[in-house]
């Protein structure tokens, strides 16, 4: 196994960080890796906001439902969908941008944001640093937007804590790989017998949360999320984001045990 695979296969989220800073040189390398990552049509409709200021991180921790790891880790990177800069480009070409109005546009940007997130993770972990993604920044999107000075047609989709590991974590279990990998054709035949899906209904003794109550509440959450979204400045994007949101940010603090 090569070094990249070893790092990827030993991933675990870290929620306890030393106060030691991450140097500019190291941070630059991590960000350069994500900058080189692919984006659909090379549209590059992703922006990173690097937050090192302690007060700002403390505020983000608060806005994210009291996730103190955000205040503790010396670096927090927000990955924002950015149809603002693409809009400038499209306008310059004398056209009108409409991609941000479609579910397709959101899908494109969310995939690219995920690729950027994954690339940042591998880069940071390859340098011996710990990370944890933070989806709870969507808990108070309007306040996040104001705090970060985000322009219209942008949306803070996910954040990433980066820092030196204080308390390490064991690798969390994954379901049987047969539930993940399907060759040539989807195959659910083993789900009932291999106990793969019991995973969802079990509160693992060392996991922070059980998925089922969160996912089972989604219909109820749609309504609340959409209601919240109509107050957003970036209404079109935020509505789509809320619909796709894998969990309710309002429940993320309880979900992650804080």
Ligand X SMILES: Cc1cc2nc3c(=O)[nH]c(=O)nc-3n(C[C@H](O)[C@H](O)[C@H](O)COP(=O)(O)O)c2cc1C
Q: What is the pattern of x (binds ligand X, CB under 6 A) and - over residues 164-203?
A: -----x--x-------------------------------
Taking the C-alpha atoms of residue 211 and residue 208, their distance in angstroms, rounded to an integer, is 10
Shortest distance in whole angstroms from residue 192 CB to ligand X: 25
User: Within 20-79, which residues bind ligand X (CB under 6 A)?
Assistant: 67
Q: What is the pattern of x (binds ligand X, CB under 6 A) and - over residues 121-160?
A: -----------xxxxx---------------------x--
DSSP codes, 167-192: S--PPPP---GGGT--SSS---TTTT
Of 9 and 96, the one with the shorter C-beta distance to ligand X is: 9
Of 90 and 115, the one with the shorter C-beta distance to ligand X is: 115
Contact 201, 212 (CB under 8 A): yes
Shortest distance in whole angstroms from residue 30 CB to ligand X: 17
Of 151 and 199, the one with the shorter C-beta distance to ligand X is: 199
Q: Report the candidate in 246, 48, 219, 44 with the shortest Cα–Cα distance to residue 136.
A: 246
41 in the Ramachandran plot: left (φ > 0), alpha (ψ -120 to 50) or beta?
left
Tallying the residues shown for the chain, one arrives at: 258
Taking the C-alpha atoms of residue 105 and residue 117, their distance in angstroms, rounded to an integer, is 18
Shortest distance in whole angstroms from residue 96 CB to ligand X: 32
Of 87 and 132, the one with the shorter C-beta distance to ligand X is: 132
Shortest distance in whole angstroms from residue 147 CB to ligand X: 17
Of 65 and 87, the one with the shorter C-beta distance to ligand X is: 65
Tell me whether strands 75-82 and 46-51 are parallel, antiparallel or unpaired. Answer: antiparallel
């Amino acid at each position: 196994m090569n070094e990249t695979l070893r790092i990827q296969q030993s991933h675990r989220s870290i929620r306890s960080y030393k106060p030691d800073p991450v140097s500019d040189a190291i941070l630059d390398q991590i960000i350069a890796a994500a900058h080189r990552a692919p984006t659909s049509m090379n549209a590059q409709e992703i922006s990173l906001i690097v937050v090192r200021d302690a007060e700002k991180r403390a505020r983000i921790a608060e806005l994210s439902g009291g996730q103190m790891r955000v205040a503790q880790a010396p670096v927090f990177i927000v990955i924002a969908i950015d149809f603002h800069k693409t809009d400038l480009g499209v306008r310059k070409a004398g056209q009108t941008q409409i991609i941000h109005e479609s579910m397709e546009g959101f899908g494109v940007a969310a995939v690219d944001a995920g690729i950027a997130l994954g690339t940042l993770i591998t880069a940071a972990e390859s340098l011996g640093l710990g990370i944890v993604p933070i989806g709870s920044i969507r808990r108070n999107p309007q306040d996040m937007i104001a705090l970060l000075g985000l322009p219209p047609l942008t949306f803070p989709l996910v954040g990433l804590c980066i820092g030196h590991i204080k308390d390490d974590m064991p690798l969390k279990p994954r379901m049987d790989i047969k539930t993940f990998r399907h060759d040539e054709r989807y195959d659910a035949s083993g789900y009932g017998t291999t106990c793969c899906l019991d995973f969802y209904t079990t509160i693992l003794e060392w996991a922070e949360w059980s998925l089922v109550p969160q996912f089972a509440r989604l219909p109820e959450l749609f309504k609340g999320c959409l209601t919240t979204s109509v107050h957003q400045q970036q209404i079109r994007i935020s509505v789509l984001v809320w619909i796709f949101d894998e969990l309710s940010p309002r429940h993320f603090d309880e979900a992650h045990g804080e």
